Amino acid sequence: MDSKPTLIGMDKPALKAALAGAGVPSRQLSMRVGQLWNWIHVHGARDFAAMTNLARDFRGLLENSFTLARPEIVTAQVSQDGTRKWLLRTGPGIEFETVYIPEEDRGTLCVSSQVGCTLTCKFCHTGTQKLVRNLTPAEILGQVMIAKDALEDWPSTAPDRKVTNVVMMGMGEPLYNFDNVKAALAIVTDGDALALSKRRVTLSTAGVVPMIPRAGAEIGSGLAISLHAVRDELRDVIVPINKKYPIAELLDACRNYPGASNARRITFEYVMLKDVNDSITDAKELVRLVKGIPAKINLIPFNAWPGAPYQCSDWSQIEKFAEVVNRAGYASPVRTPRGRDIMAACGQLKSESVKERASARQAREMAEVQSAQLARMPN
């Protein structure tokens, strides 16, 4: 491993301090920071030699003091449907996943905020992972850089970009890692860096209510809420953070989310669990609860994983549920499961070295759960 620090993930003040520490004269600092900022975040430069408009001496100094290293790629997988998943690593046991979902009109990158997750939502695979630590800004931004490298999606200002949207919907709870997520997203949305509009960035939370106003004020991205149940008794069980911040408080925070409007609706994610939360009564209650909030309801067919205690709702039931929501005037797209064959679908992310050893067994078990799942879905 290279012991020189990477410049990836540094904000401008950090970059400036790093350059000053490496001996760049103070009168040059602002200009040098500007040049590097552009090479790193607009052009995705991976080595200093590529920075052809910089003086040879300066490039030499950079070479001696820093790297542009991204997280190490452990595996890169491509699903039959074009979804890609990368397992990345930055240290012993520090492994996390990133998923790219290409669609006709967009390409969405699903980014992780933590290794593992402390929330233990009952239906989510990530919550069964033991090791948990916050990802650094370099590790969060590094996921976007890796995807853009692999997709040859530089410069960031190109008109036909491949990564058009970023969703903080990978492993972890982004609002439990607020500062680092904020720092990384600031670079993602900086017009002189990765240049994605804040409208194309969405932060998803299981409901860390006290942090929602800060997310609105300081990050300003779109908001998605992992609701999944309409009664506290059930939500307490399947999304245990509900015991701390119950549904009514969560919805109040949504009502007050800055910038929420019909043009910028809050997304409510609702995983369809057979005979658990998928009744017509639940659908009606859902509609009643979100009344007055500019909302979009995203129904997510449950993605199975080995040992999961739930099954996906029958397709006909998902359709009936969606119809109730639709009739009440809410768009209720059913999220097409993507990348299930490479365990890249919602709630399937989990990186653990144990997984590698168990991979053969897991592949067999997945084939079984999936064929059962596919049997219930329309073509």
Report the nearest approach of ligand SAH to the CB of residue 18 (Å): 31
Residue type, 156: S
Chain centroid, CA 268 distance in Å:
15
Q: For the segment 5-64, give every residue that binds ligand SAH (CB under 6 A).
A: none
Catalytic residue among 97, 139, 173, 269, which? 97
Minimum distance, C-beta of residue 195 to ligand SAH, in the bound complex (Å): 24
Residue type for 122, please?
K
> Which CB sits closer to ligand SAH, 63 or 275?
275
Q: Which of residues 188-207 bind ligand SAH (CB under 6 A)?
A: 204-206
| Closest CB 327 distance from ligand SAH, rounded Å | 24
By CB under 6 A, the residues from 244 to 303 that bind ligand SAH are: 269, 271, 300, 302-303
| Closest CB to ligand SAH among residues 123, 178 | 123
State the binding string over 300-319 for ligand SAH (x if CB under 6 A, else -).
x-xx----------------
Question: Is position 226 an interface residue for ligand SAH (rule: CB under 6 A)?
Answer: yes
DSSP state of 302: P
100, 151 contact by CB (below 8 A): yes
Q: Which residues of 82-95 are buried (b: 16+ CB within 10 A; e: fewer)?
A: ebbbbbbbbeeebb
Among the listed ranges 37-45, 118-126, 152-160, 286-294, the one in contact with ligand SAH (CB under 6 A) is 118-126
Q: Report the nearest approach of ligand SAH to the CB of residue 348 (Å).
A: 6
Q: Which helix (H) or strand (E) holds 315?
A: helix 315-327
Q: Applying CB under 6 A, does 156 fall inside the site for ligand SAH?
A: no
Structure tokens at 171: 């492993």
Give 256's contacts (C-beta < 8 A, 6+ positions apart): 213
Helix (H) or strand (E) holding 8: none
> Can residue 222 be called a binding residue for ligand SAH (CB under 6 A)?
no
**Residue 206 or 324 with smaller CB distance to ligand SAH:** 206
Q: Residue 205, Cβ neighbours under 10 Å: how many?
A: 24
The correct pick among 144, 185, 290, 346 for binding ligand SAH (CB under 6 A) is 346
C-beta closer to ligand SAH: residue 44 or 172: 172
Q: How far is CA 37 from the centre of its chain?
A: 24
Instruction: By CB under 6 A, tell whether 169 contacts ligand SAH.
Output: yes
User: Does the protein bind ligand SAH through residue 339 (CB under 6 A)?
Assistant: no
Closest by CA to 171, choosing from 215, 130, 217, 218, is 130
Outline where DSSP puts E strands in the chain. 72-78, 84-91, 94-102, 107-110, 114-115, 133-134, 165-168, 201-205, 222-226, 266-272, 295-301
> From residue 121 to residue 140, what is the string marking binding to ligand SAH with x (rule CB under 6 A)?
x-xx----------------
- Identify the three-state secondary structure at position 303: coil
Q: 86 near 76, Cβ under 8 Å?
A: yes
Active-site position among 117, 121, 124, 346: 346
369 binds ligand SAH (CB under 6 A): no
In the complex, minimum distance from the CB of residue 293 to ligand SAH, in angstroms, rounded to a whole number: 17
Q: 97 an active-site residue?
A: yes
Query: Tokens for 145?
Result: 């850089």
Q: Which ranges constitute the DSSP H helices of 87-190?
A: 137-150, 178-189
Q: Contacting ligand SAH (CB under 6 A), which of 87, 90, 347, 351?
A: 347
Residue in the structure block whose two tokens are 């609701």? 227
Q: Which is nearer to ligand SAH, 163 or 224 (CB)?
A: 224
Under the binding rule (CB under 6 A), the answer on residue 97 touching ligand SAH is no
The C-alpha atoms of residue 376 and residue 379 are separated, in whole angstroms, by 9
CB neighbours of residue 170 within 10 Å: 26
Catalytic residues: 97, 346
Summarize as ranges the residues that interact with ligand SAH (CB under 6 A).
Answer: 121, 123-124, 169, 173, 204-206, 226, 228, 269, 271, 300, 302-303, 346-347
